[in-house]
Amino acid sequence: MVPFLRILGIETSCDETAAAVVERDAEGHSTVLSDVVLSQLDEHSAYGGVVPEIAARAHVEALDELIEEALTRANVSLDEVDAIAATSGPGLIGGLLVGLMTGKAIARAAGKPLYAVNHLEGHALTARLTDGLSFPYLMLLVSGGHTQLILVRGVGQYERWGTTIDDALGEAFDKTAKLLGLPYPGGPAVERMAQNGNADRFDFPRPLVGEARLDFSFSGLKTAVRQAAQDIAPLSDQDVADICASFQKAISRTLKDRIGRGLQRFKTEFPATSEKPALVVAGGVAANLELRGTLQALCDKNGFRFVAPPLRLCTDNAVMIAWAGLERMATGAAPDALDVQPRSRWPLDSNAETLIGFGKRGAKA
- What is the reported pLDDT for 356? 52
N-to-C CA span, the chain: 46
Burial class, 38, CB count within 10 angstroms (exposed 0-12 / middle 13-18 / buried 19+): middle
Alpha helices in the chain (DSSP H): 41-45, 52-74, 93-110, 119-131, 169-179, 186-194, 219-231, 237-269, 289-302, 311-314, 319-330
Q: Is the separation of the CB atoms in 277 and 137 below 8 Å?
A: yes
Please say if the pLDDT value at position 48 is more than 80.
no
Dihedral sign from CA coordinates of 74, 75, 80, 84: positive
CATH superfamily, domain at 136-308: ATPase, nucleotide binding domain (3.30.420.40)
pLDDT score of 3: 82
Please report the pLDDT score of residue 272 as a whole number. Answer: 78
> What is the location of CATH 3.30.420.40 in the chain?
5-126+313-330, 136-308
Nearest 5°: the CA angle 83, 312, 159 is: 70
- Does the structure show a pLDDT above 60 at 359? no
Residue 44: the pLDDT is 77
Q: What is the pLDDT of residues 248-274, one digit of tens each?
A: 999 999 999 999 999 999 999 999 766
Residue 353 phi, psi (nearest 5): -60, 140
pLDDT at 362 over 80: no
Do 82 and 329 meet the contact criterion of CB atoms below 8 Å apart?
A: yes
* Model confidence pTM above 0.85: yes
Return the DSSP state at 352.
Answer: S
Using CA atoms, how far apart are residues 346 and 324, in angstroms rounded to an integer? 15
Asked if the 5-126+313-330 domain carries CATH number 3.30.2320.50, the reply is no
Confidence band, pLDDT 50/70/90 cuts, at residue 365: very low
From residue 294, alpha-carbon distances to 80, 290, 299 in Å are: 44, 6, 9
* Mean pLDDT, range 127-147, rounded to an integer: 92
The per-residue DSSP string of 15-79 comes to: SEEEEEEEEE-TTS-EEEEEEEEEE-HHHHHTTTS--HHHHHHHHHHHHHHHHHHHHHHHT--GG
The residue length of the chain stands at 365
pLDDT in tens, 226-249: 999 999 999 999 999 999 999 999
User: Looking at residue 88, what is its pLDDT?
Assistant: 97
